[in-house]
C-alpha cells in the first residue's frame, strides 16, 4: 500500500469512472486529507442492485446525505440492521485524536466505512467520499455511469477551527438564492463560517422590527445608485435569514452577522440621525452641493456614532445598539458576532473609541456572544479577553486570531495581473492563487477567512463566481491542511475540479496558471450542486428551510406593526423610532 501525508507529498486519487466505456478523468480531494493510504483494487457497485447501508444509533441524521450521494449516482439504496450485511457503514466512535471535526474514511474491496466522533466529522467524510466519486454525480442530467472506487484509508482533521468566507450584500445587494448556492459550495470544501456583512455606508440589509426604518429607508440604495424595482427589495427578512441559518447549520456552517460600528454606519445614521455624525469623505471636499445621505459610491470613513463622553446622545446610542444586538440574537443563534470596528477615525479619538468597543463587546457577552472585530480594535487596546481579532491590513497574517489580510485573502482584487476585471486594486492589485495558497499562517491562529467586498461586483452571478472561484479552494486548503504543503500538488488537484465546478454551475475564473490544466465537463441548463437545495425530510421545518429558486425575486417586505421581535409591545413615532424604548432583556 502507498501512504501519502498532507505535510509532504500531495495526493492524487484516481477514480475509475466509465463514460460510455471510456475511462474518465481523475478526481483529487480538496482540501488535502492529513493522511491517505492507497491500496490495491477497487470497490465496484452493481447497477442493478440496491446499495445496503448501515448506520449506528447515533448516525441517523448522516444517513440521508449518504443516500442522496448514491441517488445522484443513479443507484438505489436500502437500509440494513447489520454492519456485516452493508456495503456502506456509518459509525459514531469517540476518538480524541480526531477532535470535533475529524473523521476516518475506509474503502475496501467490499465496503465503505465512515467513522467519526461527531456528526460534523461524518459530514466531512461524505464530502471527501463525494470527491472520490465521478464528477457526473453533481449533474442530475448526466448519464448513468459504472462506478469503481479506489481502495484507500483516510484519517483527517482540520488545522484551524475557523475556515470562513465573508460576503458583502451591502455594496451590491446579493439575491437570496446565491447565499444558498455559496453555502452548498463551501460545504464541499469543508468551510464552516459564512460571515455576512449586513450594514455599511451604502445600505442596511436585514429586516428590523425594533427599528424598522433601518430596512425601510436604509435598504433602498447600493453602489451605483438606483432603486429596487417594483416588487423587489434589497434586504432579507428575518424569516428568510432564519431559514438560511438553519440550511447552513445542516451543512455544518455557522452564519456570523456583521453590523459595523462605530464607523461605516452611514445607513444607520441616515435612518436614525441621533445615532451619529455624518461627515465628508475626501471625495466630497470639492463638492459644494454635498448633502447627507446613504452613499451610492465607494466612499469610506464618512460617519461615526455619537459615542464620545461629551456627546449628549451617547446613552441613546448605547441603548439603541443594545436593543439591536438583542434583536439579531433572535435571528442568528451562533456564538460569534462581528462588530466591525474598522476605519473609525473620522471625528473620534482613540480613548473614546476603545471605551465604546469594549462596551459593545460587554453587551454581546451578556447575550451569550463572543465578539469578532477587525484588527483596529486590538491595535487600539479595545479587545476584551476571549474575543477575537480579525486581521485585514496588509502584512503579517499572525497578529490576530483570524487571518484575512488584504494582500493574501481579499478575493475582491484581481485574480492575476491584467485579468481584465473591474475590481478593487488598493491592496497590491492582484491576489493570485499562489499568493493565497502560500500566505504565511501560524499555528497560533484560530483560522482564516476569504473576503469578498462587493463595491465592483455588478453582475450576478457571473462576476461573483469569477472572483470567488477557484481562489476560495486555496483558502479552504490553507485552513484545513498543516503548513508547508506543495503548491504544485494543489494545482494538480485543482485542475481536475474544473469539471466539478462546471457540473455545479460555477462560472469560475479559468485562466491557466503554470502547472494548472483545467479538466472540463459539458454544461447543461439548470445544473446545481449535488446537495443544492437538499434538506433531509427528517429535518424539522424542512419545507421552510429549502431555498427559493434563483429566478424568484423576493417581494417587498411590510413594516412591522405593534410589536418588536422580542415580543414587546411598542408605539412608533412618526419617525419610526419606538416612542418609549423597550427595556433591555436579560439573557
Name, in order, each residue with C-beta under 8 angstroms of 455's C-beta and a sequence gap of 6 or more. Answer: 171, 172, 223, 298, 412, 424
Rounded CA separation 466/508 (Å): 5
Which CATH topology does 162-485 take? TIM Barrel (3.20.20)
Residue 488, pLDDT > 70, answer yes
Rounded CA separation 259/369 (Å): 14
Which CATH topology does 2-156 take? Chitobiase; domain 2 (3.30.379)
Residue 582, pLDDT > 80, answer no
Buried b (16+ CB within 10 A) or exposed e, 458-471: eebbebbbbbbbbb
Residue-wise pLDDT tens digits, 266-305: 899 999 999 998 765 545 444 433 345 677 777 766 788 9
Vertex 14 angle, CA 534 and 101, to 5°: 50
Residue 67, pLDDT > 60, answer yes
Its pTM stands at 0.89
Beta bridge partners of 449: 164
- Cβ–Cβ under 8 Å, residues 503 and 138: yes
Q: What is the mean pLDDT of residues 72-100?
A: 97
Residue 553, pLDDT > 50, answer no
Residue-wise pLDDT tens digits, 138-156: 887 777 888 999 999 999 9
Residue 566, pLDDT > 80, answer no
Cell of residue 187, nine digits: 460545504
- Cβ–Cβ under 8 Å, residues 157 and 124: no
Residue among 353, 356, 359, 360 nearest 325 (CA): 360
Cell of residue 258, nine digits: 456583521
Q: Which stretches of 202-361 are assigned E, i.e. beta strand?
A: 203-204, 254-258, 276-278, 303-305, 336-338
Rounded CA separation 309/355 (Å): 9
Percent of the chain with pLDDT over 90: 63
Residue 301 is predicted with a pLDDT of 60
Name, in order, each residue with C-beta under 8 angstroms of 347's C-beta and a sequence gap of 6 or more. Answer: 277, 279, 304
- Cβ–Cβ under 8 Å, residues 129 and 115: no
Q: Is 147 exposed, middle or buried (0-12, 13-18, 19+ CB in 10 A)?
A: buried
Cell of residue 173, nine digits: 445587494
Q: Which helix (H) or strand (E) holds 150?
A: strand 146-156
Q: How many residues does the chain have?
A: 587
Residue 136 is predicted with a pLDDT of 87
Angle formed by the axes of helices 238-250 and 176-188, nearest 10° = 10
Neighbours of 347 (CB within 10 A): 14
Rounded CA separation 1/375 (Å): 47
465 backbone dihedrals φ, ψ, rounded to 5°? -60, -45
End-to-end Cα distance, the chain: 56
Residue 523 is predicted with a pLDDT of 66
At 76, the pLDDT band (50, 70, 90 cuts) reads very high
Residue among 37, 212, 199 nearest 563 (CA): 212
The domain locations on the chain are 2-156, 162-485
Q: Is 538 exposed, middle or buried (0-12, 13-18, 19+ CB in 10 A)?
A: exposed
Residue-wise pLDDT tens digits, 175-216: 999 999 999 999 999 999 999 999 998 999 999 999 999 999
Q: What is the mean pLDDT of residues 419-441?
A: 87
Q: Which residue reads 454544461 in cell numbers?
A: 523
Rounded CA separation 137/141 (Å): 9
Provide the phi-psi class of 301: left if phi over 0, else alpha when psi is between -120 and 50, else beta: left
Amino acid at each position: 500500500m502507498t501512504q501519502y501525508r498532507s505535510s509532504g507529498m500531495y495526493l492524487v486519487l484516481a477514480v475509475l469512472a466509465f463514460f460510455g466505456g471510456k475511462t474518465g478523468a481523475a478526481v483529487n480531494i480538496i482540501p488535502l486529507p492529513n493522511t491517505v493510504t492507497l491500496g490495491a483494487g477497487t470497490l465496484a457497485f452493481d447497477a442493478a442492485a440496491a446499495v445496503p447501508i448501515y448506520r449506528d444509533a447515533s448516525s441517523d441524521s448522516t444517513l440521508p446525505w449518504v443516500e442522496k450521494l448514491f441517488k445522484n449516482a443513479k443507484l438505489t439504496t436500502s437500509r440494513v440492521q447489520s454492519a456485516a450485511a452493508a456495503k456502506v457503514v456509518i459509525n459514531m466512535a469517540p476518538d480524541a485524536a480526531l477532535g470535533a471535526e475529524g473523521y476516518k474514511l475506509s474503502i475496501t474491496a467490499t465496503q465503505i466505512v465512515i467513522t467519526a466522533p461527531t456528526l460534523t466529522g461524518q459530514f466531512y467524510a461524505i464530502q471527501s467520499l463525494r470527491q472520490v466519486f465521478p464528477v457526473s454525480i453533481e449533474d442530475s442530467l448526466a448519464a448513468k455511469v459504472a462506478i469503481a472506487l479506489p481502495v484507500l484509508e483516510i484519517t483527517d482533521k482540520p488545522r484551524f477551527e475557523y475556515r470562513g468566507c465573508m460576503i458583502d450584500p451591502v455594496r451590491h445587494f446579493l439575491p437570496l438564492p446565491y447565499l444558498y448556492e455559496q453555502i452548498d459550495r463551501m460545504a464541499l470544501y469543508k468551510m464552516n463560517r459564512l460571515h455576512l456583512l449586513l450594514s455599511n455606508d451604502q445600505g442596511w440589509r436585514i429586516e428590523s422590527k425594533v427599528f424598522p426604518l433601518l430596512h425601510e429607508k436604509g435598504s433602498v440604495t447600493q453602489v451605483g445608485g438606483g432603486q429596487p424595482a417594483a416588487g423587489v427589495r434589497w434586504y432579507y427578512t428575518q424569516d428568510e435569514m432564519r431559514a438560511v441559518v438553519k440550511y447552513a447549520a445542516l451543512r455544518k456552517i455557522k452564519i456570523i452577522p456583521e453590523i459595523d460600528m462605530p464607523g461605516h454606519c452611514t445607513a444607520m445614521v441616515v435612518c436614525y440621525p441621533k445615532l451619529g455624525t455624518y461627515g465628508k469623505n475626501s471625495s466630497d471636499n470639492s463638492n459644494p452641493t454635498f448633502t447627507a445621505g446613504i452613499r451610492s459610491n465607494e466612499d469610506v470613513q464618512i460617519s461615526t456614532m455619537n459615542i464620545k463622553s461629551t456627546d449628549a446622545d451617547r446613552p441613546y446610542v448605547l441603548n439603541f445598539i443594545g436593543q439591536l444586538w438583542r434583536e439579531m440574537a433572535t435571528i442568528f443563534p451562533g456564538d460569534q458576532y462581528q462588530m466591525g470596528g474598522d476605519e473609525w477615525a473620522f471625528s473620534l479619538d482613540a480613548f473614546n473609541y476603545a471605551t465604546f468597543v469594549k462596551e459593545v463587546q460587554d453587551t454581546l457577552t451578556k447575550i451569550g456572544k463572543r465578539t469578532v472585530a477587525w484588527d483596529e480594535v486590538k491595535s487600539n487596546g479595545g479587545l476584551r479577553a476571549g474575543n477575537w481579532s480579525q486581521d485585514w491590513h496588509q502584512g503579517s497574517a499572525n497578529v490576530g486570531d483570524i487571518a484575512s489580510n488584504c494582500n493574501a485573502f481579499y478575493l475582491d482584487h484581481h485574480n492575476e495581473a491584467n485579468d481584465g476585471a473591474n475590481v478593487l486594486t488598493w491592496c497590491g492589485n492582484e491576489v493570485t492563487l499562489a499568493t493565497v495558497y502560500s500566505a504565511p499562517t501560524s499555528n497560533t491562529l484560530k483560522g482564516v477567512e476569504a473576503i469578498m467586498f462587493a463595491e465592483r461586483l455588478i453582475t450576478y452571478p457571473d462576476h461573483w463566481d469569477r472572483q470567488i472561484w477557484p481562489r476560495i479552494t486555496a483558502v479552504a486548503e490553507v485552513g484545513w491542511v498543516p503548513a508547508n504543503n506543495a503548491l504544485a500538488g494543489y494545482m494538480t488537484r485543482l485542475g481536475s475540479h474544473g469539471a466539478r465546478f462546471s457540473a455545479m454551475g460555477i462560472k469560475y475564473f479559468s485562466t491557466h496558471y503554470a502547472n494548472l490544466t483545467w479538466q472540463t465537463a459539458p454544461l447543461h441548463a439548470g445544473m446545481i450542486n449535488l446537495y443544492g437545495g437538499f434538506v433531509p425530510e427528517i429535518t424539522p421545518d424542512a419545507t421552510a428551510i429549502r431555498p427559493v429558486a434563483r429566478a424568484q425575486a423576493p417581494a417587498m417586505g411590510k413594516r412591522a406593526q405593534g410589536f418588536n421581535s422580542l415580543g414587546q409591545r411598542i408605539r412608533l413615532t412618526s419617525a419610526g423610532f419606538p416612542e418609549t424604548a423597550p427595556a433591555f432583556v436579560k439573557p
